[in-house]
Structure 1
Amino acid sequence: MTQTDPDVRQRRRALLMTVPALAVLALVLLLPLGIVVLRSFTVPEPGLGNYVWFFGTKVNLTVLLRTFTIAFWVTLVCVVAAYPYAFAMSVVGRRTRLLLVLCVLVPFWVSGVVRSFAWVILLQDAGVINRIVMAMGFEKIRLIRTQLGVTIGMVQILLPLMLMPLYSVMRAIDLRLIQAAGSLGAHPVKCFFQIYLPLSLPGVFAGATIVFILALGFYITPLLLGGPSSTMLSTLIQQQVLSLLNWGRGGAMSVVLLVATFAFLALAAPVMKRKYDLSGSGK
């Protein structure tokens, strides 16, 4: 028996332990995905007809571009809003941190459907926000059935998913580095951009990736808060599958969205890896 035999057996046992999880994953994820891909090529007849229809219809391409645009703006707003909040969570005392965490988690425990309906009440033309705006002497702002309204609702729902990865990274940053740089004469702004920001980039990238991917597939919030000018691809997929019973076209739309998402992540991965290495956390 060689010296490596125990290691080999241990690895085999570890691999066998993952088999049930892999089987469940294949059953609930890969199998339905495979069926969707298969139907996109075979329904109503075998071939590339569904994809020719998708790329030959201007509305589909416009909605696909709008979906990525809305997801980008939602991600950007989440980063801008979550960064100072996560920083505050990482530097305040224990009791204040607990309060800030509760402010993040309590809305997260409420169903997204309920929160979307709440935004319908707040954003409608005669809603609370417009009443406050008009009471201040300004004209009514159209928020419901617009991309702005969709962005507001999606940001509120996805913000906790940006905050928690960012906070976990910021919590591990040693603030004595900032103090040391300041004691050597560095300006606070320079300390932030040259020390703190690079160290926090892994959390920014992790949270932004989660938010962006989830925003691409959002359905309920764009449906309730949006209109014809803010329709996202998930809404068109629902119409094709449930309303028109056209599984082939709906499957083609889903595959295009999935491939476009992976393509975007593949293009962004080298940039993210380079920034991650520069931060010093990847070493």
Structure 2
Amino acid sequence: MNRMSRSAGAPGFALVVPLLVVMAVGFNLPLLLMLGKSVVGESGLTLDHFAELFRVPAYLQVLGSTFRTALITAVFCVLLGYPLAYWLRGLPPRWQMVALAAVVVPFWVSILVRTYAWIVVLGNAGIVNRTLQALGWADEPVAFLYNQLGVVIGTVNVLLPFLVLPLFAAMLKIDPQLIRAAETLGASHWTAFRRVFFPLSLPALAAGAILVFILTLGFYITPAILGGGRVPMIANMLDLLVNQQPNWELASTISTVLLGVTLVLFVMYLRLTAQRESA
């Protein structure tokens, strides 16, 4: 029996081997080379690149700006996404499909197009500023763009569905009988939500927030366009170090730090996802 199972599994493994080779050569090998450059210097193994990274204020400023932008984006996605997902949950099935389509449709539009659309809406001569000036609410254009506010607005617009869709799916799995049971026992609707529904949806909310945070760390197009070069981000600095200077060692060091942070957050995301599925 064991011989038959081995002979049956061998052809399947042989079909997977080419994919494993492609993954190893196309992804794992460059990743290992990058990690190697971060700890290898002219005299052999060294941590001088990491010391330079944390010694130079400009690099720390970029790291701080990136993590701050990612945190603000995650917070706004939570504040906007949770009420939206909760509202979607309460809609009739037909209207749920319509509302979900409205959430998913932006995925069909290029991020580049959606980013430039914000310039049309929020630019100095954009729709919002012209409306504010026409109503007399502003004497001069409001600086919505080319600062951290513009980057956050564009990033939230792109990443909000990544929180809303899985959070909505998790909310649908919460048994409505639990809410009714709490209300039957004397709890108000708000108390039932606060004591029963929200704790059950919290793991999915936290997992979605971590996912948005991770995706923001590597954003390039939106900060480059809506930030106007005034909001330093890790991806933009890596482009500078690789294509203009170049300084592959320092770029590899920054990438290694970003990879380490991302892996830690990804492990947290997996644990929260597993907790949500087991609930």
TM-score of the aligned structures, taking structure 1 as reference length = 0.85
Which residues of 2 match residues 95-134 of structure 1 at below 5 A?
A: 95-134=94-133
Distance (whole Å) between structure 1 residues aligned to residue 247 and residue 265 of structure 2: 27
CA contact (8 A) 1:43 1:247 kept: no
Match of 1:189 in 2: 190
Letter in 2 for 1:112: I
Deviations 1:160-189 (A, max 9, x none): 111111111111112122122212210111
* SS, match of residue 53 in structure 1: helix
Match of 2:203 in 1: 202
Distance (whole Å) between structure 2 residues aligned to residue 44 and residue 111 of structure 1: 43
In structure 2, do the counterparts of structure 1 residues 87 and 67 end up closer, same or farther at CA, with 3 Å as the change threshold?
same
Moved more, 144-153 or 125-134: 125-134
Distance (whole Å) between structure 1 residues aligned to residue 188 and residue 3 of structure 2: 56
Moved more, 211-220 or 246-255: 246-255
Match of 2:59 in 1: 60
10, 23, 26: which one aligns with 2:24: 26
Distance (whole Å) between structure 2 residues aligned to residue 79 and residue 14 of structure 1: 47
Which residues of 2 match residues 1-283 of structure 1 at below 5 A?
A: 5=2, 9=6, 16=13, 21-42=19-40, 46=44, 47-139=46-138, 140-263=141-264, 282=278
In structure 2, do the counterparts of structure 1 residues 18 and 168 end up closer, same or farther at CA, with 3 Å as the change threshold?
farther
Percent sequence identity over aligned pairs: 35
The Cα of 1:48 is off from its aligned counterpart by: 3.2
Letter in 2 for 1:78: C
Moved more, 23-32 or 126-135: 23-32
* SS, match of residue 144 in structure 1: coil
Structure 2 gaps, min length 5? none
The Cα of 1:128 is off from its aligned counterpart by: 1.5
Letter in 2 for 1:199: L
In structure 2, do the counterparts of structure 1 residues 31 and 211 end up closer, same or farther at CA, with 3 Å as the change threshold?
same
The Cα of 1:156 is off from its aligned counterpart by: 0.4
- Superposition CA RMSD, Å: 2.9
Distance (whole Å) between structure 2 residues aligned to residue 7 and residue 196 of structure 1: 51
* SS, match of residue 214 in structure 1: helix
Distance (whole Å) between structure 1 residues aligned to residue 43 and residue 115 of structure 2: 39
CA contact (8 A) 2:214 2:265 kept: no
* SS, match of residue 105 in structure 1: helix
Distance (whole Å) between structure 1 residues aligned to residue 154 and residue 248 of structure 2: 29
In structure 2, do the counterparts of structure 1 residues 23 and 130 end up closer, same or farther at CA, with 3 Å as the change threshold?
same
Distance (whole Å) between structure 1 residues aligned to residue 43 and residue 113 of structure 2: 40
The Cα of 1:10 is off from its aligned counterpart by: 10
The Cα of 1:123 is off from its aligned counterpart by: 2.2
Distance (whole Å) between structure 2 residues aligned to residue 163 and residue 196 of structure 1: 16
The Cα of 1:14 is off from its aligned counterpart by: 11
Distance (whole Å) between structure 2 residues aligned to residue 20 and residue 208 of structure 1: 36
Distance (whole Å) between structure 1 residues aligned to residue 22 and residue 104 of structure 2: 29
* SS, match of residue 263 in structure 2: helix
Deviations 1:93-151 (A, max 9, x none): 22211111111111111111111111122222221121222233222321111111100
Distance (whole Å) between structure 1 residues aligned to residue 137 and residue 213 of structure 2: 34
TM-score of the aligned structures, taking structure 2 as reference length = 0.86
Letter in 2 for 1:255: T
Distance (whole Å) between structure 2 residues aligned to residue 10 and residue 187 of structure 1: 63
Distance (whole Å) between structure 1 residues aligned to residue 229 and residue 118 of structure 2: 18
Structure 1 gaps, min length 5? none
